[in-house]
Structure 1
Amino acid sequence: MPDGRSALLTAAVRAFAHEGFDSADLRGIAAAAGVSQNLVRVHFGNKAKLWEACINTIASAAAPAMAEVAEIAADEHMSLKTGLRDVIACVVAFYVKHPEARDFVTRHAADSSERALFVADRLLKPAYATCRALFAAGIEAGLIRSKHPALFFALLNSAASQPAGFPALLNRLAPEIQREAARALMTDTIVATLLHEPAQTAS
């Protein structure tokens, strides 16, 4: 099956994200992908190699977003506040487009096994590197109220990674907020909450 490998990766990312490495079952993954379980061995060899391939799939999906963040951070003609706002919007948009990446990282980044280190090295550290200098500049300018850019990075990712059912949940809490507007309103709220005007120096 020419699409068997892709189907397995899609099903595996979802299974590992929702069930964890130990609980995810190769037979269930293959069934969700609509392929034979033997195809896992053909394409990946074993469960651990399939998990690593999922990491590579997420890294490939994140590459355009990280490139966009790096481009924003390097734009000398853009104001610092505008750059920070655009980076926040980019992070939110990535999680909306790739909820499986959000769930996968959330599940495995806090794991106590070597897999957590692999997630950090392959996904989190490269993402942080693209915006670290911009966040540090925001802290120095007083736009970001944090002791360290890594703390702001963690807070931003936590705020941006709302679950897939977030628009429906928000609509239940506040029916006047339409589901299709929830994500944009959340982005505006994150920007307004995390970015501040620099404190005025007393003369």
Structure 2
Amino acid sequence: MSEGQDRTAPRRGRRTADAPAGRDALLRAATRCFADHGFEAAGVRMIASRAGAAPNLVAVHFGNKEGLWLACVDLLADTLASRIEALSALSNDHKTPLRERLQFAIAMTADYYDRNPDLRGFIARASLEPAPRGDIVAERLLKPLYEAARPLIEQGIDAGVVPISDPAIVFVILHGALGQPDRITSALAILAPDRATENAAGKIGEALAQLLLGGEGS
């Protein structure tokens, strides 16, 4: 090493343990890896490589892979907070016609999932995980979202706008379809290859609104 060269400079492409973006980079990469591969298949080295970080930084910041997974759940819960607040506001907005509020809630959810593929992938994968991970995702992510949406769905049921009498089934149908626009786009490309598949999430939301809110109502 030549005289005057910085002996403490980190290797190119690696983050040091105290790098301010290191923890955030690991969280973003881990959320993506868990969404794409599930907990077991997403290894620490895979996550660190995608984050551009040394694998030992997972232990430094999170303790282990389980701790990193739990931190991803915390991150996604924070991400969903604004959606939960928006759904609650729609439920309490009695000045806007009910059908319009329901249509907006469906369109908003479709757009949100479309712009947050890691969120929808993480929930879809983790909801099938064995205990306790599946239970944690249900309690921290799915149930709060459902409890925020349920009053608006129940208003639609009571007014005869929504023809399904069980709000939980309505919620599952909506999020099951809106949460996987990429798979629906792939299916459409196979079944109707001449059909344009741009803005698939928006089209799915519009179709669901027509199916669920097609009858006369408020």
- Asked whether the two chains share a fold, i.e. TM above 0.5, the reply is yes
1:192 is aligned with what amino acid? Q
- 1:169 Cα deviation from its structure 2 partner: 5.3
Q: How many angstroms apart in 2 are the aligned matches of 1:45 and 1:135? A: 41
Contact 1:27 1:37 in 2 (8 A): yes
Q: Paired residue for 2:70?
A: 52
Q: Paired residue for 1:150?
A: 168
The alignment status of 1:124 with 2:142, answered yes or no, reads yes
Contact 1:170 1:182 in 2 (8 A): no
Q: Paired residue for 2:105?
A: 87
Q: Paired residue for 2:39?
A: 21
The alignment status of 1:97 with 2:106, answered yes or no, reads no
Q: Paired residue for 1:112?
A: 130
Q: TM-score, normalised by structure 2?
A: 0.84
2:89 is aligned with what amino acid? E
Q: Paired residue for 2:96?
A: 78
Change in 2 beyond 3 A, CA 1:110/1:165: closer
Q: How many angstroms apart in 2 are the aligned matches of 1:188 and 1:90? A: 11
Q: TM-score, normalised by structure 1?
A: 0.89
For 1:162, which of 180, 184, 208 is the aligned residue? 180
Instruction: Report which of the two structures shows the higher radius of gyration computed on alpha carbons.
Output: 2
The alignment status of 1:135 with 2:153, answered yes or no, reads yes
- 1:177 Cα deviation from its structure 2 partner: 3.9
Q: Paired residue for 2:196?
A: 178
Identity %: 37
The structure richer in helix per residue is 1
User: What residue ranges of structure 2 are gaps of 5+ in the alignment?
Assistant: 1-18
